[in-house]
Amino acid sequence: MKSDRKIYYESMETDIGLLWIGFTDRGLAKLEFSIRKDQIEKELNRNYDSIVEYNGKESDYKKQISLYFEKKLRNFDIPLDLIGTPFQISVWQELLKIPYGEVRSYKDIAVGVGSEKGFRAVGMANNRNPVSIVVPCHRVIGSSGELVGYGGGIEAKVKLLKLEGLDIIEKERNGNKLYFVS
C-alpha cells in the first residue's frame, strides 16, 4: 500500500549493529536492523512515493535511540507513523504498554488485544513491526520464558533485554543455543 508522502531516512551505529531510521512528517515510520543501504531504499520504496536520505541536524529519533542505548532513556517520546492492518496496529499498541525491563508472552499480548488464541497472529504482527525497539517487540517471549522470534536475530534480542536489565540464561539443546529470561 503506497503512501503519497515522503519518507526521510538516516543510519546510526549501535551496540546491536547498524540501524536505519525512517521518518515522515507524521513520525517514526521505520527502524530496521543491519541491512545495506540499497535494501532499505528498496523496502521504503514499497510504501512511499518519495524517499530522501536525511542529512540535516541530528533528528529527535536518532537522539532518543542513542539515549536508549546509553541507558539514559526508558520511554520514547516520539510520534509514530505506522502502516499496518488494524490487527497489526492493535498488537503494536499493546506492545507499547510493556514497561522497560519487563517481558510479556505472545499469549499475554493475544489476550490484551482480545484474541486469546491468536498468539501465532501476534507473532506475525511482531514480525511485521516496522519500528522495533521503539515498539518493543523484543520484550515478547515464549510462554516458557524462552527468547524466540526476533527479526533482528536472537542475539540482538538478548542484547536489548540485557541492556534493559533483564537476566538472560543461556542453555544448549541438541547443539543449539537457547536463551531464557531468568
Q: What is the pLDDT of residues 123-177, one digit of tens each?
A: 999 999 999 999 999 999 999 999 998 888 899 999 999 999 999 999 998 999 9
Going by pLDDT thresholds of 50, 70 and 90, the confidence category of residue 64 is very high
Task: Give the model's pLDDT for residue 1.
Answer: 55
* Per-residue pLDDT at 123: 94
The per-residue pLDDT for 2 is 57
| pLDDT reported for residue 152 | 83
Rounded to the nearest integer, the mean pLDDT of the chain is 94
At CB < 8 A and 24+ separation, what contacts does 86-95 make? 87/113, 87/115, 87/121, 87/125, 88/125, 88/128, 88/129, 91/121, 91/122, 91/125, 91/126, 92/125, 92/129, 92/135, 95/126, 95/129, 95/135, 95/136, 95/137, 95/139, 95/140
Residues 19-55 have pLDDT tens digits of 999 999 999 999 998 789 999 999 999 989 999 999 9
- Active-site residues, by number, are 137
